Amino acid sequence: GIGFVAINANDADAYPDDSFDNMKLFARANGFTFPYLHDERQTVARAYGAVCTPDFFGLNSELTLQYRGRLDAARRDAGPPGLRRDLFEAMRQIARTGDGPLDQIASIGCSIKWKDAA
């Protein structure tokens, strides 16, 4: 099977609209059925090299990164029928073969709001 989590790594002190509480409301309003986690110290985002929101990472059953890219070709709206669904197709391939696709298009979104390095 395939599982998902969402992780919020934005600096909520500098950007209160991106607080974990606000993002939980967003998740609920948009029907997220998967766990929504808070990366307060931004260690997970840095470890995976995340750069924007959203940024998608697909792992195989050995927890090896196989996909790093966009959700789909639509950007913000649902898009027309037949739209390329990059993450869906990548995860289907990973579930079937253990390997991600060679063709991966980078995510586009707002930059992660990084905390100042101390």
Between 45 and 74, name the one with better pLDDT. 45
CA dihedral of 95, 100, 103, 105, whole degrees rounded to 10:
90
30-62 per-position pLDDT tens digit? 999 999 999 999 999 999 999 999 999 999 999
Q: What is the CATH number of domain 6-111?
A: 3.40.30.10
Residues 6 or more apart whose CB falls under 8 angstroms from that of 109 comprise 52, 53, 54, 55
Mean pLDDT of 7-26: 93
Q: For strand 110-111 and strand 52-53, is the pairing parallel, antiparallel, or unpaired?
A: antiparallel
- Tell me if residue 16 falls in helix, strand or coil: helix
As given in the structure block, the two tokens for residue 11 are: 């600096």
> pLDDT tens-digit profile of 79-116?
778 888 999 999 999 999 999 999 999 999 999 999 98
Domain boundaries, the chain: 6-111
Would the pLDDT of 117 be above 70? no
Q: Which helix (H) or strand (E) holds 66?
A: strand 65-69
